[in-house]
Amino acid sequence: MSKVLFLSMPSHGHMNPTLGLAAELINQGEEITFFSSEEFKKAIVEIGADFICYKEDLNLFKKRQEQIKNTEQTPKAGTGLVAALLQPQKFIDAVLTQIEGLKFDYVVCSAAYPYATVIAQILNIPLVSSYAVFATFKELFNKDKPGSDKGPMGLNAEIMTQFKKVRASLMEKYQVKISEDIFSLFFNKGNLNIIYTSKYFIPNLENYDDSFIFIGPPVFNKKYDVDFPFEKLEGRKVIYISLGTIFSNHYNELNQLFFKSFADTDYIVVMAAYDVDLSQYQIPENFIIRNYIPQLELLKYTSVAITHAGMNSIGDLLYHKVPFISIPLGADQFFLANRAQELGATVVLDFKHIDTKLIKSAVEMVLTDPEYRKHIEEISDSFIQAGGYKKAAEEIFRLIKPQP
């Protein structure tokens, strides 16, 4: 039995895959100490891991979205993804203090955890990196405006100057190596790197060396106490709408379009509205809206879905062979949605140019054209063959327990 340190970014998109991985490792006898926020404590304890709460709020993705309505704003030190690298004490020093006296055999980190490679070097143990985003940096940020003095994620010369100073200080303090490429610290490459899709779904395998493994989507049914009226779905046509946990509260107009599109129809519409103020809406009677939806259970009833095409959501839909349309809103969602469309599995709509007619016609298309189901089944088969969390555990044990 090995002792494992888990450092996951405390957001649903990053916690969902790492929770499933931790659960599989615990089932195979590993002892896990799991860092996250209080929001995820119950889920972590229920899989049998020891929980430690980060001293500060490290949900950088939520902080970044606070600026979403002003995309030209450059993040200042103290907020956002890039600026987080200027505060290594939150990600390195605080964790080292909290685990003082503990020994670990390897560390599993969200690939986006700032300075994950530094933690592994300091502890002198192997790093397993969990990629909640599998698009490469180039693919994610290839649409910057020519001539702009602001780079991806608000990077500018001032932040780069500060980062160089922080990097030099850390290298001297801990005697570690840190890449000069600031963005590599949000795509931390480990000794083993886990990608939650199949090789079939990836269009650019040449970007991944032998340290990357493709295990299929992170299908893991978290234990949440949720009172949901599944009996209302029996024998009905069900549309499931989910825009994820980061962007959903920023697109009120889009939510209104969903109401207009499907009010007074034969559909029962189940809509996830994480942290959304519902008091601003007139909600149609055929809508069931919840802050949290038990997604895997709901997919058993779902006729068609509307998704933002986040990694966890699109993986669940494809794996369970549910027809869907995609309305990507940010991050790697455009990459994922477009790739699924290239493979014939979805229709992608532009949220900036959308109306009720487009939404309804797209839903009808993926429901009635058998080609969409055919291509979804092909992708689903590739996911199942990828091996899942058991495959990931095998590769981790091969890394840390080499055979003589």
Domain boundaries defined on the chain: 3-216+387-400, 230-384
pLDDT at 182 over 50: yes
Eight-class DSSP state of 145: P
At 219, phi and psi to the nearest 5? -80, 105
For the domain covering 3-216+387-400, report its CATH number: 3.40.50.2000
Using pLDDT thresholds of 50, 70 and 90, give the confidence band for residue 280: confident
CATH superfamily of 230-384: Glycogen Phosphorylase B; (3.40.50.2000)
Using pLDDT thresholds of 50, 70 and 90, give the confidence band for residue 99: very high
Using pLDDT thresholds of 50, 70 and 90, give the confidence band for residue 145: very low
Q: Give the list of residues 6+ apart from residue 360 with CB closer than 8 angstroms, or none.
A: 261, 262
Asked, colleague to colleague, whether 3-216+387-400 and 230-384 share their fold, the answer is yes
**Strand pairing report for 287-290 and 304-307:** unpaired
pLDDT at 77 over 70: no
Using pLDDT thresholds of 50, 70 and 90, give the confidence band for residue 276: confident
At 268, phi and psi to the nearest 5? -95, 125
Using pLDDT thresholds of 50, 70 and 90, give the confidence band for residue 227: confident
User: pLDDT tens digits, residue range 103-126?
Assistant: 999 999 999 898 999 999 999 999
Cα separation, 115 vs 127, whole angstroms: 12
Say if residues 294 and 302 touch (Cβ distance below 8 Å): no
pLDDT at 64 over 50: no
Cα separation, 374 vs 360, whole angstroms: 21
- Measured between alpha carbons, how far is residue 43 from residues 19, 31, 170, 328, 362 in Å? 8, 16, 34, 28, 36
pLDDT value at residue 74: 41
pLDDT at 370 over 50: yes
pLDDT value at residue 247: 55
Percent of the chain whose predicted confidence (pLDDT) is above 90:
59
Q: Give the list of residues 6+ apart from residue 22 with CB closer than 8 angstroms, or none.
A: 4, 6, 32, 34, 44, 47, 49, 108
pLDDT value at residue 139: 59
pLDDT value at residue 132: 81
Mean pLDDT of the chain: 86
| Mean pLDDT score, 82-96 | 86
pLDDT value at residue 183: 78
DSSP string for 166-231: HHHHHHHHH-----S-GGGGGS---SEEEESS-TTT-S-GGG--TTEEE---------------GG
Q: Taking the model in full, what pTM does it have?
A: 0.85
Q: Give the list of residues 6+ apart from residue 179 with CB closer than 8 angstroms, or none.
A: 185
Using pLDDT thresholds of 50, 70 and 90, give the confidence band for residue 41: very high
**E strand residue ranges, 92-187:** 106-110, 127-131
Percent of the chain whose predicted confidence (pLDDT) is above 70:
85
Q: Give the list of residues 6+ apart from residue 285 with CB closer than 8 angstroms, or none.
A: none
Say if residues 4 and 109 touch (Cβ distance below 8 Å): no
pLDDT value at residue 206: 85
pLDDT at 143 over 60: no
Q: Is the dihedral of CA 40, 45, 47, 53 positive or negative?
A: positive
Cα separation, 185 vs 34, whole angstroms: 21
